[in-house]
Copies of this chain bind each other. A is one copy, B any other.
């Protein structure tokens, strides 16, 4: 990816710490101390007007006084001084600034204004910013710890970014204790300039990074985030927590950072569409990340379990099934080998039980046998610390097996004190260890989702030939007339312009014209009141079905107009719509609402009670491609009804896909459409198409 580089934050030639302090209780001390202590190889310049040297380095009153060029500035001064410091940085030719100082957007309106000022200064001097309000940046490749974190993680292949600085400290503390390594570690803070999208781009082709991990509270630009993430996940997995998505959580977000959180469903849809693995807790984040960082991907979803204890083996098998993976059936040769070499009481079927008295040799045999079996996509090795279990030797045997095969191995050495030394060896040998089998399985399930994503063809948006000028004309007119909703006739014109099929229908302004229309369409017909002001026609009795004769049509016309004027005396009434009465088929709903974060969110579901009572619907962010449209249809619970139950013919899926794609194009072409419902869309049996009976559309 060709992006504006962010290398100045990770491997700068020189760093100035503005606000460097000699007082060990100050952040300005901690940052400088970390830079020096953890072996930054470039030049370091403390900036402090009241000291000649700090921590043994010559200090300067201002960054402008530094005799050499400065590539990166870390700013740790009170908020009110940051702007002038940044101005000086700009004058000095600094390329990037990490603003650790807090007291900006997160404290209110004045802070927001000050933050804006920082961005203006940075733009003026073509500087990039991280922060403000951050813990800092740690880079194990460039050996730069420009943060006030307590400690330096080991080098690894996880690139981590977090919108919460406090979470950074907790994650670092856990990583230090568990030997988890990072390539880059960034606290994003208020994201005044750089944000999650910039780092996704920066790390996409980074050879030091195998997995990108993020804690996010909000996203700056949903559409662009999706574009970039979709490209990144083709190269490497992204694991992310998005917090504040439930209604309770969102309340907390808005009181905390002022970030506008998108709805849970939009995030779920968007993350799924671009292949981001969503984690629900920091533990999940670790569990998935170390799996991706240390092990190859699953070759298939069939898992073998090797264990020295029946109980945990059963629990692993339960978890595998619950997670939608499968317990692998071992090849006859594998079972034969295991039967021959393991004691008689052992289980040569999966889970492979090497028994409580197993030494490392049995583990080695069983793990290698499982890895060599073509039916097996990955292996979980469970060890319980029994009396004679050689924990460290077994760990080494597992590590060696892992290094010799291109399939993932997850260890589950259960216990704590007793298994500790073994777990250290596993970590050293890049085998992820999980405290309980369920977590190992969850990590494999995350791998499986990612593998499936990688196997999908890339997004391929097709454009239909449509009459978008006609739609623009209608929408412009609606807006000129000060309306936000459209009438039936307009809806029909839009449907026609975008090739969304609908029943034969005529707008009749008088009863006699309605009769003429009915004669032309053929009985029976349906009639609906036609008014741009009446959205829910059934609610006011504005629809009549089963009209079989001229008399029926005449009566219906008068009745509908009477009811409409009675209910809404000021409504503009255009007459009645006379429509072919559709028989058979199944009711579907297609809809769109515009999410503040991601834009057009498409909805698909079966109509009527399936939507209202069972809430059996699914979502995607538009534009979608043909595969995604197909996925929407097949992932609702009631999908089997469309496939046909009890000998019914299957519904015309291709016609639904086509309509979904046309709606996707319509709402993408016209961002002014705030909401849209085609309800019902009637789908007939395969080959017989769909008919959009009623379309509702609201402008933003």
Measured CB to CB, the residues of A under 8 A from B are 25, 27, 30, 106-107, 148, 150, 162-167, 169-170, 172-174, 176-178, 215, 217, 241, 243-249, 251-253, 255-257, 280-283, 308-315, 317-322, 326-327, 345, 347, 349, 351, 353, 356, 384-388, 414-419, 435-439, 609, 612-614, 616, 637-638, 640-641, 645-646
A255 touches B173 (CB 8 A): no
> Which residue in B257, B315, B418 is a CB contact (below 8 Å) of A310?
B257
Known contacts A245-B318, A314-B256, A327-B248; A164 and B215 CB within 8 A of each other:
no
Contact with A315, one of B281, B414, B418, B638 (Cβ below 8 angstroms): B281
Q: Is the CB of A170 within 8 A of B248?
A: no
Alpha-carbon distance A249/B350, docked complex (angstroms) = 10
Docked-complex contact B317 and A248, CB < 8 angstroms: yes
A414 close to B345 (CB less than 8 A) = no
Contacts A25-B388, A170-B415, A248-B320 aside, 7 further interface pairs with beta carbons under 8 A come to A30-B387, A174-B414, A176-B416, A177-B417, A252-B310, A281-B319, A281-B437
| 9 A-B pairs closest in CB distance | A164-B311, A166-B309, A173-B415, A177-B416, A170-B414, A249-B318, A256-B310, A166-B384, A281-B438
- Asked if B256 contacts A318 (CB within 8 A), the reply is no
Q: Which residues of B contact A243 (CB under 8 A)?
A: 311, 314-315, 318
Cβ-closest chain B residue relative to A326: B248
A351 contacts across to B, CB distance below 8 A: 252
- Chain B residues lying within 8 Å of A244, measured Cβ to Cβ, are 314, 317-318
Q: Contact at B386–A169, with CB atoms within 8 Å? A: yes
Decide: A314 near B387, CB < 8 A? Known: A178-B416, A415-B169: no
| Chain B: CB-nearest residue to A612 | B645
Q: Please determine whether A387 and B27 come into contact, CB atoms closer than 8 angstroms.
A: yes
Q: How many copies does the complex hold?
A: 2
Residue among B150, B164, B320 making CB contact with A418, cutoff 8 Å: B150
Residues of B close to A169: CB separation below 8 A: 384-386, 415
Q: Which residue of B lies closest to A646 (CB)?
A: B612
A641 to chain B, nearest CB (A): 5
A312 to B120, CA, bound (A): 32
A103 nearest CB across to chain B (Å): 9
Interchain residue pairs with CB less than 8 A apart (24):
A166-B308, A166-B309, A167-B384, A169-B385, A172-B415, A173-B385, A173-B419, A174-B415, A176-B416, A215-B311, A243-B314, A244-B314, A244-B317, A245-B318, A249-B317, A255-B347, A255-B349, A256-B310, A256-B314, A256-B347, A280-B438, A281-B437, A609-B638, A614-B638
Find out whether the CB atom of B416 lies under 8 angstroms from the CB atom of A253. Answer: no
Whether A252 lies near B317 (C-beta < 8 A) is yes
Cβ contact of A321, chosen from B215, B249, B327, B353, cutoff 8 A: B249
| Interface pair B416/A322, CB less than 8 Å apart | no
- Give the docked Cα–Cα distance between A294 and B246 (Å): 30
Find the B residue at minimum CB distance from A280: B438
What's the minimum C-beta distance from A308 to chain B, rounded to whole angstroms? Answer: 7
Complex CA gap A345/B79 in Å reads 14
Pick the contact of A353: B256, B319, B419, B435 (CB < 8 A). Answer: B256
Q: Closest Cβ of chain B: how far from A133's Cβ, in Å?
A: 10
CB-based contact A418/B173 at 8 Å: yes
Closest residue of chain B to A327 (Cβ to Cβ) is: B248
Q: Which residue from B167, B246, B438, B613 sits with its C-beta under 8 Å from A638? A: B613
Is there contact, CB below 8 Å, between B166 and A645? no
Specify the chain B residue showing the minimal Cβ separation from A639. B613
Chain B, Cβ-Cβ closest to A413: B170
Q: How far is the CA of A312 from the CA of B472 in the complex (A)?
A: 46
Identify the interface centre among A166, A174, A414: most chain B CB within 10 Å of its CB: A166
Contact B167 A311 (CB under 8 A): yes
**Per a CB cutoff under 8 Å, which of B252, B255, B318, B637 touches A248?**
B318
A282 to chain B, nearest CB (A): 5
Question: Are B387 and A311 in contact, CB atoms less than 8 angstroms apart?
Answer: no
**Residue of A162, A308, A418 with most chain B CB atoms under a 10 A cut-off:** A418
CA gap between A308 and B165 in the complex, in Å: 11
Q: How far is the CB of A532 from chain B (nearest CB, A)?
A: 25
In the complex, what residues of B have CB within 8 A of residue A106's CB? 345
Residues of B within 8 A of A255 (CB): 347, 349, 353
- The distance from the CB of A529 to the nearest CB of chain B, in whole angstroms, is 19
- Cβ of A173: which chain B residues have Cβ within 8 Å of it? 385, 414-419
- Nearest CB of chain B from residue A251's CB, rounded to whole Å: 7
Q: When chains A and B are docked, how far (Å) is the Cα of A124 from the Cα of B174?
A: 57
A217 to B315 CA separation, bound complex (whole angstroms): 10
Q: How far is the CA of A27 from the CA of B356 in the complex (A)?
A: 13
**Are B312's CB and A167's CB within 8 A?**
yes
- Residues of B near A257 (CB, < 8 A) are 310
**Which chain B residues lie closer than 8 Å to A645 at the CB level?**
609, 612-613
Contact A249 B281 (CB under 8 A): no
Considering the chains assembled together, what is the distance between the CA atoms of A148 and B429 in angstroms? 31
By a CB distance below 8 angstroms, the chain B residues around A641 are: 609, 613
Whole-angstrom distance between the alpha carbons of A201 and B678 in the complex? 61
The verdict on A241 contacting B315 (CB below 8 Å), with A166-B356, A252-B310, A645-B609 known, is yes
Collect the chain B residues with CB atoms within 8 Å of residue A419's CB.
173
Give the residues in chain B near A321, CB-CB below 8 Å. 246-249
Q: Which of A347, A414, A640 has the most CB of B within 10 A?
A: A414
Q: Which residues of chain B are near A322, meaning CB under 8 Å?
A: 246
**Assembled-state Cα–Cα distance A255/B352 (Å):** 10
State whether A417 touches B176 (Cβ < 8 A).
Answer: yes
Residue of B nearest to A350 (CB): B252
A312 to B252, CA, bound (A): 10
- Count chain B CB atoms within 10 A of each CB in A170, A177, A245, A315 and give the residue with the most: A170
